[in-house]
C-alpha cells in the first residue's frame, strides 16, 4: 500500500437494527488515495457500513450506531456520528454513496447529471464540463452524447449503473462509497471501470463492496472482512 494519510478512522463501531446486532466493534483505518474493499457474507451489514460513513443510515428506522467515525480533512478531524442534521448535506457532498441498484431521477440523462451541480451554484459551462468529464470516466459518453435530453429510464441497466457512478464523480467527492459498482456490467466494461477506479484513487479515496473476489484482488489496496457477530 502506498504511504498516505488517514482519511477515515472507524473505531469500535457497532450496528443494531432493533434488538438484532448486525456487527460490533468494527475497526478500520482507511488511508487517503487508496481503494479499500469491504467483504463478508450477505446480510452481514456491508452496505449499512457504507451508509454509516456518509450518515445515510440515519434515514433508517430502528437503527442504533455506536462508536466513532472520524473524517479527516486539512483542518482536522470530526466524528461524523455526532454531526448535527444541518451539517449532513455538506458531508454527503464530500462522502458520496453509490448504491448497488441505480437510483435514477425522473429526468433526462443530462438533468440526472446536472441536478446536484445546479444546487451547488455552478454555471452552465462548468456543469457541461463536469458532465462530459464524468461520463467519459465511466465510458458512457460515446453511448449517450447524442441523446443527453432523452429520459434516463430508457438506458439499459448497465448504462444506468454507470450513470449514477458518473453522477457521483461529477460532484468531485473526497470519498467515494461504491456498493457493487460493476454488478450489472459485462466483463469488458467491468475491467474498464476497474482501471478507471485505480486511476481515480490519485484524486479521491474509494471504499468498495464487491462480491467478485478477483476484482477485489485486482484493485484493492486493503481488504477488510466483516465478521459475524457472536
d(CA 157, CA 153): 9
Question: pLDDT tens across 59-99, in order?
Answer: 999 999 999 999 999 889 999 999 999 999 999 999 999 98
Q: Are 104 and 163 in contact (CB under 8 A)?
A: yes
pLDDT of residue 184: 85
Does the pLDDT at position 4 exceed 60?
A: no
Which residue's entry shows cell 466483516?
226
The residue-averaged pLDDT of 156-176 equals 94
Q: Are 45 and 15 in contact (CB under 8 A)?
A: yes
Q: In 75-191, at which residue ranges do the beta strands (DSSP E only) sit?
A: 76-79, 95-98, 175-179
Grid cell of 199 as nine digits: 486511476
Confidence of residue 118 (pLDDT cuts 50, 70, 90): very high
Q: What is the set of domains in the chain, with CATH numbers?
A: 6-225 (3.40.50.300)
Task: Name the pairing type of β-strands 35-39 and 63-73.
Answer: unpaired
Q: Which residues, in sequence order, are CB contacts of 145 under 8 Å at separation 6+?
A: 132, 135
The residue-averaged pLDDT of 166-189 equals 93
Grid cell of 207 as nine digits: 471504499
Question: pLDDT tens across 9-53, in order?
Answer: 999 999 999 999 999 999 999 999 999 999 988 888 999 999 999
Does the pLDDT at position 5 exceed 50?
A: yes
State whether the Cα torsion 112-116-121-122 is positive or negative: negative
Amino acid at each position: 500500500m502506498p504511504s498516505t494519510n488517514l482519511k477515515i478512522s472507524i473505531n469500535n463501531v457497532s450496528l443494531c437494527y432493533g434488538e438484532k446486532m448486525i456487527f460490533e466493534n468494527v475497526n478500520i483505518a482507511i488511508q487517503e488515495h487508496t481503494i479499500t474493499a469491504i467483504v463478508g457474507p450477505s446480510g452481514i451489514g456491508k452496505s449499512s457500513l457504507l451508509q454509516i460513513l456518509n450518515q445515510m443510515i440515519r434515514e433508517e428506522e430502528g437503527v442504533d450506531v455506536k462508536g466513532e467515525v472520524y473524517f479527516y480533512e486539512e483542518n482536522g478531524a470530526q466524528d461524523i456520528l455526532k454531526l448535527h442534521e444541518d451539517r449532513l448535506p455538506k458531508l454527503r457532498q464530500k462522502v458520496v454513496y453509490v448504491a448497488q441498484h441505480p437510483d435514477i431521477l425522473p429526468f433526462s440523462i443530462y438533468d440526472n447529471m446536472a441536478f446536484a451541480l445546479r444546487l451547488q451554484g455552478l454555471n452552465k459551462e462548468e456543469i457541461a464540463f463536469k458532465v462530459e468529464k464524468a461520463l467519459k470516466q465511466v465510458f458512457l459518453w460515446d453511448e449517450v452524447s447524442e441523446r443527453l435530453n432523452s429520459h434516463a429510464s430508457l438506458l439499459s441497466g448497465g448504462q444506468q449503473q454507470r450513470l449514477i457512478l458518473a453522477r457521483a464523480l461529477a460532484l468531485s467527492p473526497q470519498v467515494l462509497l461504491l456498493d457493487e459498482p460493476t454488478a450489472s456490467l459485462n466483463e469488458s466494461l467491468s475491467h474498464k471501470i476497474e482501471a478507471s477506479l485505480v486511476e481515480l484513487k490519485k484524486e479521491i479515496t474509494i471504499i468498495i463492496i464487491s462480491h467478485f473476489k478477483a476484482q477485489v484482488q485486482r484493485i484493492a489496496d486493503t481488504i477488510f472482512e466483516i465478521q459475524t457477530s457472536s
